[in-house]
């Protein structure tokens, strides 16, 4: 497929969005996220000319890393790909990367940080504008924000025109009660306008493209409803295991880690009504309506699983219970699936099947829209394949793109029907993109645009749906492990669709 919009035109449009001068302060600076995702994302913004001229990054963590921080981050940027060591923009960018050591519970440290940031304003012309990024374990979220408040860093100074915003990483709570408590703690210091709850899936081009596909074209929306759609599948499959994050995953599991947040965000884009505008309040309102319209989920409509040993990409891999720092009797799920019913005018009667898991056969995140059959099968003599439904597959990752499956006449003297695909590939149309999702979201937060960030009400609405499931799961002992690493999950996951004569599409 060809494209009429050139990448150059796209870049030009993006260039109109340059934030005001500011300091980005990253708490958790020596962590994995900062090195692998955040600094590379900021540098890509710099390369694209999207950072303000007056700009600094300050990493904050507890150890004294002032001598090694910038070189270490440079290493992360180079390893992230797409950047050469001799890139002329790299050295000047690294000169603006600073480090400040303090423990998160140290009041004197926060007071010194405040003075340090004021000093940077003088050196770099950053005008008191602050974007704090909490790239830390969730138990620190509320404490850091409370200390920012206590030390006068959480609000602009009285009468001044500077801004203060805070990006909060996931997970935002572990159930409804903890999410509410965290929201209350955060809202006690910051106004909702200052808070940017990040879900990096919303930064992915292909997730945003769900809205463009639906609302930027005339031909899809008329069929995007219960009259034409049989069911929807959303899969977030990973072939990797828990990657050394045993203690984290033992607490989290697939439902808390991915289903409640990333998958539900994607679902809201697939199911929402057109917003009045592409602005935060309008988009959030429509997303919230979708989540609130979902019927309470019966536990029989959910499936949990845990991988045992198996083969992924031809290599033997260990089971979850054998992973480092995982309980050998662990009951934590590495697979979670559910059938959801959105009881509104558009979707009543259309099941949404969602699943997220580690150590499946391959890494693929996809939305699959399966359409109803035509009312009459004219081509009965067509043989096998003649009555397959139309399917729109929105490939979030990898091989980003969209395809439409439809039946077509096989050449020859009989009326045989074969299924074919019309395919749009991002890579073919636009070339490879280095964006990791964080670029767009960091830029939006610097611009004060919260459209692609979660709102308190939304976070609570999704926890309200899944908390009863977590409670029901905790009350019964599962028969784990129940799927082999490298498979497509437990048999019950197929049964969930088979009950109504459906099956997961081939990915």
Ligand X SMILES: NC(=O)C1=CN([C@@H]2O[C@H](COP(=O)(O)OP(=O)(O)OC[C@H]3O[C@@H](n4cnc5c(N)ncnc54)[C@H](OP(=O)(O)O)[C@@H]3O)[C@@H](O)[C@H]2O)C=CC1
Contact residues: ligand LXAUTJHC, CB under 6 A:
170, 238, 257-258
Q: Closest approach of Cβ 126 to ligand X, in Å?
A: 23
The smaller minimum CB distance to ligand LXAUTJHC, of residues 44 and 130, is found at: 44
Neighbours of 474 (CB within 10 A): 9
Q: Which does 31 bind (CB under 5 to 8 A by kind): ligand LXAUTJHC, ligand X, none?
A: ligand X
DSSP string for 27-38: ESTTSHHIIIII
By a kind-dependent CB cut-off of 5 to 8 A, residue 30 interacts, out of ligand X, ligand LXAUTJHC, none, with ligand X
The one of ligand LXAUTJHC, ligand X, none whose footprint includes residue 469, by CB under 5 to 8 A per kind, is none
Give the Cα separation of 297 and 336 in Å (integer): 13
Looking at the Cβ atoms of 436 and 482, the one nearer to ligand X is 436
Which residue numbers belong to the known binding site for substrate? 200, 204, 238, 257, 358
User: Is-contact 453 169, C-beta < 8 A?
Assistant: no
CA–CA separation, 52 vs 114, rounded Å?
Answer: 22
Alpha-carbon distance of 291 to 283, in angstroms, equals 13
Q: What are the residues binding ligand X (CB under 6 A)?
A: 28-34, 61-63, 103-104, 135-138, 169-171
Tell the smallest beta-carbon distance from residue 252 to ligand X (Å).
8
Which residues have a Cβ under 8 Å from the Cβ of 330 and sit 6 or more positions away?
A: 250, 306, 320, 321, 480
Select the binding partner of residue 169 from ligand LXAUTJHC, ligand X, none (C-beta < 5 to 8 A, by kind): ligand X
**Between 43 and 352, CB nearer to ligand X:** 43
Pick the closer one to ligand X by CB: 21 or 171. 171
Nearer CB in complex with ligand LXAUTJHC: 238/460:
238
Question: Shortest distance, CB of residue 15 to ligand LXAUTJHC, whole angstroms?
Answer: 26
**Tokens linked to 228:** 């034409």
Taking the complex as a whole, the smallest distance from the CB of residue 260 to ligand X amounts, in Å, to: 13
Q: Answer yes or no: 262 catalytic.
A: yes
Helix pair 456-475, 280-293: axis angle to 10 deg: 30
Angle between the N-to-C axes of helices 176-187 and 456-475, in degrees from 0 to 180, rounded to the nearest 10 = 150
> How many angstroms separate the CA atoms of 379 and 387, rounded?
8
Do 481 and 320 touch, CB atoms closer than 8 A? Answer: yes
Length of the chain: 507
Cα–Cα distance measured from residue 441 to residue 430, given in angstroms and rounded to the nearest whole number:
21
Partner from ligand X, ligand LXAUTJHC, none binding residue 257, C-beta < 5-8 Å depending on class: ligand LXAUTJHC
Beta strands in 398-486, from DSSP E residues, in sequence order: 401-409, 417-425, 483-484
Q: Distance (Å, rounded) from C-alpha 320 to C-alpha 317?
A: 9
First to last CA, the chain: 21
In the bound complex, which residue of the shown chain has the CB atom lying closest to ligand LXAUTJHC?
257
Per the annotation, binding residues are 28-35, 62, 170, 200, 204, 238, 257, 358
From 85, 25, 13, 17, select the one nearest 45 (Cα to Cα).
Answer: 17
Kindly tell me which of 137 and 348 has the beta carbon lying closer to ligand X: 137
Residue 110 CB, shortest distance to ligand X, in Å, is 11
3-state secondary structure 472-498: HHHHCCCCCCCEECCECCCHHHHHHHH
Could you tell which of ligand LXAUTJHC, ligand X, none binds residue 351, using a CB distance below 5 to 8 A set by kind? none
d(CA 146, CA 131): 16
Say how many C-beta atoms besides its own lie within 10 A of residue 362's C-beta: 13
488: its two tokens: 């497509």
Residue sitting closest to ligand X (CB): 31
Write down the least CB distance from residue 361 to ligand X, Å: 22
Q: Which does 301 bind (CB under 5 to 8 A by kind): ligand LXAUTJHC, ligand X, none?
A: none
CB of 35 to ligand LXAUTJHC, least distance (A): 16
Q: Which two tokens stand for residue 281?
A: 């309040």
What DSSP character marks residue 240? Answer: S
Q: Which is nearer to ligand LXAUTJHC, 400 or 444 (CB)?
A: 400
- The catalytic residue among 44, 151, 231, 262 is 262
Which residues have a catalytic role annotated? 262
């Amino acid at each position: 497929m060809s494209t009429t919009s050139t990448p150059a035109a796209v870049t030009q449009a993006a260039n109109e969005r340059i934030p005001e001068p500011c300091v980005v302060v990253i708490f958790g600076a020596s962590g994995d996220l900062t090195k692998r995702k955040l600094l590379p994302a900021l540098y890509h913004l710099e390369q694209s000319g999207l950072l303000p001229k007056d700009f600094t990054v300050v990493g904050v963590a507890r150890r004294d890393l002032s001598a090694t921080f910038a070189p270490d981050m440079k290493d992360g940027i180079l390893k992230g790909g797409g950047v050469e060591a001799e890139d002329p923009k790299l050295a000047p960018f690294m000169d603006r990367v600073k480090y400040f050591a303090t423990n998160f519970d140290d009041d004197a440290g926060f007071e010194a940080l405040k003075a340090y940031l004021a000093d940077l304003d003088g050196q770099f012309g950053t005008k008191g504008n602050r974007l704090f990024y909490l790239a830390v374990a969730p138990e620190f979220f509320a404490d850091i924000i409370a200390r920012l408040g206590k030390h006068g860093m959480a609000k602009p100074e009285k009468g001044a025109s500077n801004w203060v915003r805070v990006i909060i990483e996931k997970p935002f709570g572990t159930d409804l009660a903890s999410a509410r408590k965290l929201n209350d703690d955060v809202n006690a210091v910051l106004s909702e306008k200052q808070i940017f709850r990040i879900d990096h899936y919303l930064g992915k081009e292909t997730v945003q493209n769900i809205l463009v596909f639906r609302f930027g074209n005339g031909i899809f929306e008329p069929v995007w409803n219960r009259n034409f759609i049989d069911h929807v599948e959303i899969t977030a499959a990973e072939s990797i295991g828990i990657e050394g994050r045993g203690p984290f995953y033992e607490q989290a599991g697939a439902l808390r880690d991915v289903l409640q947040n990333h998958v539900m965000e994607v679902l809201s884009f697939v199911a929402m009504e057109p917003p009045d505008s592409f602005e935060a309040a309008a988009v959030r309102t429509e997303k919230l309506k979708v989540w609130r319209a979902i019927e309470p989920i019966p536990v029989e409509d959910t499936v949990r699983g845990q991988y045992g040993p198996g083969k992924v990409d031809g290599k033997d891999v260990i089971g979850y219970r054998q992973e480092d720092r995982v309980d050998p009797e662990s009951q934590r799920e590495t697979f979670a699936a559910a059938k959801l019913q959105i009881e509104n005018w558009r979707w009543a009667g259309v099941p949404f099947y969602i699943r997220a898991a580690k150590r499946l056969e391959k890494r693929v995140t996809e939305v699959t829209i399966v359409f109803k059959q035509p009312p009459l099968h004219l081509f009965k003599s067509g043989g096998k394949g003649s009555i397959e439904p139309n399917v729109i597959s929105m490939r979030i990752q990898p091989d980003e793109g969209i395809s439409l499956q439809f039946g077509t006449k096989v050449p020859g003297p009989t009326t045989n029907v074969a299924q074919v695909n019309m395919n749009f590939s991002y890579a073919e149309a636009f070339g490879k993109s280095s964006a990791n999702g964080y670029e767009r979201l960091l830029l939006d937060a610097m611009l004060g645009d919260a459209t692609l960030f979660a709102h308190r009400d939304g976070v609570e609405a999704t926890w309200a749906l899944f908390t009863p499931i977590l409670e029901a799961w905790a009350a019964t002992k599962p028969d784990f492990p129940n799927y082999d690493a490298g498979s497509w999950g437990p048999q019950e996951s197929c049964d969930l669709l088979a009950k109504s004569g459906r099956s997961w599409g081939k990915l």
